[in-house]
Structure 1
Amino acid sequence: MKQHFSHRVIHQVRQIIDLWRQLPQRNWQKDALTELSLSVDKLIRYAGRFGATRHQQLGKDLLQLLMHIAPGECADNTQLQTINRIIQNLSQTALRHTDSPDATALIPQKKPIYIALQNTDQAVVLAEQMQYFSFRPELQRTPQDLVSSLQQRHPAAIVLDHNFGREGMGLEIAAQIQQQRETPLPVIFTWAGTPPSLKEQIQAQRSGSIAFMNETNVHALISKLETRLDCTPPQPQKVLVVDDSRTQSVHAQNILNKAGMITRVVNEPLQLLEVLHDFVPDIVLMDMYMPDCNGMELARIIRQQPEYFHLPIIYVSGEEDRDRQLAAMAEGGDDFLTKPVSPAHLVTTIRNRVDRARQLQQLIARDSLTGLLNHTHLQEALQQAISAADGQTPVSFAMIDIDHFKQVNDQYGHPVGDNVIRNLSLFLRQSLRKSDPIGRYGGEEFAVVLVDADLEQAAAVMDKIRKNFSCLTHDQQDLNITFSCGVSEWQGQSVSELIAEADKALYRAKDSGRNQVCTASSHK
């Protein structure tokens, strides 16, 4: 019975996240709001029967907010911020570090991933490795098996040889699958031997392809699945509207709120820097001509602040002179929209600019080899976690070092060593919650911030990861790698002291024979 209601709870959480994402595209219509409210009501009932008090309370808070939104009208800024916070919390409620180990038995398995490769041995290798990354692979040995399985249950994704059964048959099967679905099913097509032609790649795109990869590149395949199936809701886009006209700024705010964006309005341009620091927007939407100063002057001042150098700025003005528009953009603007601007044009422009800016920020903040946070940004994430905890929630820090890594590079070569580093980074992302910042500290060293986990819980989490990682094989050479780990817990010390304690525990783990987790001695 518990398993049944646990499945219902997790399913309702995912459905609520999907419906919330769709709401702006459905223009906050009455039927869309009603469908979301009914889904939240189901969550409350299922959570009550299962005894999932956290889900139940989040559901009640969310339903209360939805009841105050008039059909056809969008949520205001305050409501949007609160709802997004609840949605983020719901997305993180599957299993926490503070849960009992017995809780894992109550978490339902994910949808399966069908593996249909012509090379059965390679399919078995892929399936074995996927299990260590918390995926649920199911082998399909023939085209008939795949079609039959799809009729019984749709998977989360398919890994499909484009020549499964015979030449080109995998592409044909995928095309038939997609014709029967309203939303495309994610398919990773694979090849072995000869790379696919451009014509085959185009055909694969038309059949729902999210990638076309070499089937022997096992961990690259797993990484692609991990990225594609991540259901964590994105942070809402934040727009700062700078316009001395209250009428114009409120109009823009209503359009952007309806698109699910959080907005802040500045009608007094001289207050801009103060609001920038407080609001931390993803983009600035600015009028050209205002009293006391103009948009070009403000753009120059924004660009003089290092922290806002990459902040997108879009001018929205009635100025139609093309030369003046270009001159304004030369002063730090990224785009120029001439009033009147259609709501669809405004929203699409902002979304595209913010998406690109976030991607750029990710490149700046993350290590190029692994995609994890770099040294500097991981320390910032640790400081933010400590500040957010405010002494009420435990925060632990783990330092990880790959054992005998120099020998791996010397014996197998640096490309294999790079693969080991990438594999560990992927394994950490899959094994930890999305709310736990992970970084590459340098070389073969990694670090993790474990929120809502005390020293004992954090050590248990890292030890489980250590054991599972040691079972992975790397680079098709039956190469197994282990790591050592040191863990410390924040108890009022500085960030540098907390890191130093974890570092000492790590060296004690290495001195004691490696392939183990040690905790900071100050806590013993």
Structure 2
Amino acid sequence: MTTQPPHPFDDRLYALRTRWEQYLADGQLEQFIEFAVAVDSLAEHFARLRLPGLSRLCEGLEKAVLAHIGNADSHPLPAQARVALQRQIDALFGSIATSQPRVPVRRAEEKASAQEHAWHRPRSVWLVTAAGREDVADGLERQLNYFGFRVQRMDWDSESAVEPGQAPLAVLFIPADGAAAGATELARITACRRACPASQLFYLGVASVIDPIVALMRAGIDVAIPNDEQPAMVVNRLLDLIQTEEQERYRVLVVEDSRVAATLICRTLTEHGIDSHAIADPSQLLEVLQSYRPDLILMDMHMPRFNGVEATRVLRQMSAYQTLPIVYLSGESNIGMQVEALRLGGDQFLIKPFNPVLLAAVVKTKIARFRDMQRSTRIDGLTGLLNHSAAKARLKAMTESAAPGERFSVAMIDIDHFKAINDTYGHPVGDQVIRGLAWLLKARLREGDLIGRYGGEEFIVALPGTDAVLAQTVLDRIRGDFAALPHTHPGGALYATFSAGVAAWPAIDSAAALTETADRALLDAKRLGRNRVEIAHS
């Protein structure tokens, strides 16, 4: 029997089904381990795409699978165990079939060419509102509409029937004021989770007490918003959900003098979608680190000439590698030696022979935290956008990697009369205006576009695949939306505008000249009366 790829997510689903069928046919432990690897890879993929319901189902299957990884004598599994696993597999694929996949964008150029004019793609959001909380729902709906979401209202007694492919991006539960979730509310949440396995479920307004939050999570809630957090902050969380650009593949440097061990490690990493490079001689370490630039090192403990601990101590003296994760792989079972290795700079110690699923889990977890730490140095804390230095570096990389004939536009954006907003309403309201523009840019622009906070109330954007005229059209549409966006404060609501200047590559042929030229066009827009977008003169 030939199995066709069952869903357009990618070939991970096909691999999972195929490896399960191969195991059912032959019943070998090695085949079961390969099936476990496929399940783990799929769970990680769903987590990266922010599909919590599917991640939960896949992790449940993975837990059941790992419980059966033992020695070869336990395989093939008894019929009862195979039937139980088959039910979980069928439940997973059934949920996938009713979900609308969000396929990640792999390259900004592909995004630009495929969707050059698809700047505004409405996403569905459900608002489940308790009686007496309509005012909160009304305000939140207005915010969501401004940011391009399509809102459907319902009460807590409504059914959660969903047509295939029509599940919402998110469901927001607004409970009665001051009321904790009771059995009826928890049952409603559970029913919604079953109907919408790929949606994010939010509960707005929960006391900072662990027991009710745990109960909500068990029912299916992904994010519980505390009572003291502004409902408007939910908008930013929703905008983050649509940023599903595919991450650069993880890279692991394997330092291992055994060719057999290195081959096995690299094969395991490849099956989990992780790129790897192996070296047998640790004296090559510094040279390879500079050229390969890994996210993590898997280091053998005992090697010729010097050991893994000595190599690690050398790396920790260099600023470029002080935080690079290093995981030891060794047959060393002496606890004292392991503790010493960790004390002198290692991050974790795994004993050979290693469990391939555990190895992959450790590698991915360490790299994810390492990248999050790196990301925190590039992100503006107020808006979540790229900060000044990261935006400049990204633009410079765009100019250096641009192919012949490639085009893109750069715009400098500045909020009009921002000092007067701060002086009149205070800095917290000014921060809210800045966040409002940042969120609107995230909602209206594409995943592959550069969006950064350049400083204060000034922003920079770069739009691949656009000329200056198209960029002006897109930004002018956003300008009109921003002018109509209410920014609430204790005395009511205020409205703000922005001005922008646009310059285009390759007419302007360097990153510095692009920002300078766009900034001059921004000054023109200010002189011409503000609240407008101007193209730089040649």
Cα displacement (A) at 1:298: 2.5
Shift of 1:234: 3.3
Structure 1 residue aligned with 2:138: 124
Which residue number corresponds to residue 444 of structure 1?
A: 457
| Alignment partner, residue 126 of structure 2 | 114
* Cα offsets for 1:230-256 (capped at 9, x unmatched): 443333322111111111111001111
Contact 1:288/1:296, CA 8 A, preserved across alignment:
yes
Equivalent AA in structure 2 for residue 135 of structure 1: F
Q: Percent identity?
A: 34
1:144-169 CA-to-partner distances (Å, cap 9, x unmatched) read 4x316558964222111133998735
Among 210, 214, 218, the alignment partner of 1:206 is 218
3-state SS of 1:147 partner: coil
Residue 512 in structure 1 maps to residue 528 in structure 2:
yes
Q: Which residue of the partner structure matches residue 426 of structure 2?
A: 413
User: 1:354-404, CA deviations, whole angstroms, 9 ceiling, x for partnerless residues?
Assistant: 111111111111111112111111111111111221333113221111111
Check conservation: 1:157, 1:185, Cα contact below 8 A. yes
> Is 1:489 matched up with 2:504?
yes
* Pairing of 1:298-447 with structure 2 (within 5 A): 298-447=311-460
- Residue in 1 aligned with 2:200? 186
Q: Hey, what does 2:288 align to over in structure 1? A: 275
- Cα distance change on mapping 1:333 and 1:148 into 2, 3 Å: closer
Matched residues in 2 for 1:216 and 1:316: separation? Answer: 44
C-alpha deviations, 1:200-246, integer Å up to 9, x for none? 32221112222223598343111112223544333332211111111
State the match for 1:502 in structure 2. 518
Distance 1:473 1:262, change over 3 A: same
Q: The residue matched to 1:416 in structure 2 has which SS?
A: helix
Secondary structure in structure 2 of the residue aligned to 1:487: strand
Instruction: Write the distance in 2 (CA, Å) between the matches of 1:157 and 1:384.
Output: 34
- Cα separation, 1, equivalents of 2:482 and 2:121: 23
Q: Separation in 2 of the partners of 1:401 and 1:460? A: 17
The answer for the alignment partner of 1:173 in structure 2 is 188
Equivalent residue letter for 1:498: L
**Aligned pairs, number:** 447
The question of whether the paired residues in 2 share the 8 Å contact of 1:401 and 1:484 is answered with yes
**Secondary structure of 1:467's match?**
helix
Unaligned runs of at least 5 residues, structure 2: 23-34, 39-102
User: Aligned pair in 2 of structure 1 residues 30, 519: CA closer, same or farther (>3 Å)?
Assistant: farther
Whole-angstrom CA distance in 1 between matches of 2:16 and 2:422: 50
Give the Cα separation in 2 of the matches to 1:223 and 1:14: 33
TM-score, normalised to structure 2, is 0.75
Change (3 A) 1:267 1:196: closer
Matches within 5 A, 1:441-480: 441-475=454-488, 477-480=492-495
Task: Tell me, yes or no, if the aligned pair for 2:410 and 2:463 is still in contact at 8 Å.
Answer: yes
8 Å contact from structure 1 (residues 113, 136) kept in 2 = yes
For residue 286 of structure 1, give the secondary structure of its aligned residue in structure 2: strand
Question: Secondary structure of 1:113's partner?
Answer: strand
User: Which one of 240, 260, 264 corresponds to residue 247 of structure 1?
Assistant: 260
Q: Deviations over 1:474-496 (max 9, x none)?
A: 13532222111111123363322
> Alignment partner of 2:232: what SS?
helix
SS in structure 1 at match of 2:222: strand
Cα distance in 2 for partners of 1:505, 1:331 equals: 55
Change (3 A) 1:257 1:24: farther
> Which residue number in structure 2 is paired with residue 147 of structure 1?
159
Is this contact kept in 2: 1:97–1:457, CA < 8 A?
Answer: no
- Give the Cα separation in 2 of the matches to 1:455 and 1:498: 12
The farther-off stretch of 441-450 and 249-258 is 441-450
Q: Equivalents in 2 of 1:444, 1:387: separation in Å?
A: 28
Q: CA deviation at 1:323?
A: 2.7
- From the superposition, tell whether residues 16 and 325 of structure 1 become closer, same or farther in structure 2 (CA, over 3 Å): same
Q: 1:330 to 1:351 in 2, by over 3 A?
A: same
Q: Which moved more, 1:354-363 or 1:273-282?
A: 273-282
Distance verdict in 2 for CA 1:197–1:270, change over 3 Å: closer
Distance (Å, rounded) in 2 between the aligned partners of 1:22 and 1:233: 18
Query: 1:93 Cα deviation (Å)?
Result: 8.7
Q: Does 1:136 align with 2:150?
A: yes
Distance 1:198 1:125 in 2: 28
Q: 2:414 touches 2:498 (CA, 8 Å); kept in 1?
A: yes
Check the 8 A contact 2:105/2:448 in 1, yes or no.
Answer: no
**Partners of 1:248 and 1:148 in 2: how far apart?**
51
* Contact 2:502–2:518 (8 Å) recurs in 1: yes
Does the aligned pair in 2 maintain the 1:186–1:208 contact within 8 Å? no
**Gap change, CA 1:289 and 1:464, over 3 Å in 2:** same
Asked if 1:220 corresponds to 2:236, the answer is no
Could you tell me which residue of structure 1 aligns to residue 8 of structure 2? 16
Contact 2:108 2:464 in 1 (8 A): no
Higher mean alpha-carbon deviation, 254-263 vs 475-484, is at 475-484
> Which of the residues 69, 76, 96 maps onto 2:112?
96
Paired AA for residue 407 in structure 1: A
Deviation of 1:95 (Å): 6.2
Partner Cα separation in structure 2 for residue 397 and residue 512 of structure 1: 20
TM-score where L is the length of structure 1: 0.77
**Whole-Å separation in 2 of the counterparts to 1:379 and 1:353:** 28
> What are the superposed Cα offsets for residues 272-306 of structure 1, whole Å, 9 maximum, x if unpaired?
22322222211111112222333223223333443
Q: Label 1:451 to 1:301 Cα distance change in 2 as closer, same or farther (>3 A).
A: farther
RMSD: 3.2
Is contact 1:163-1:171 (8 Å) kept?
A: no
Deviation at 1:88, TM superposition (A): 5.6
The Cα offsets for residues 178-220 of structure 1, whole Å up to 9 and x where unpaired, read as 3x459364211113xx846543322211122222235983431
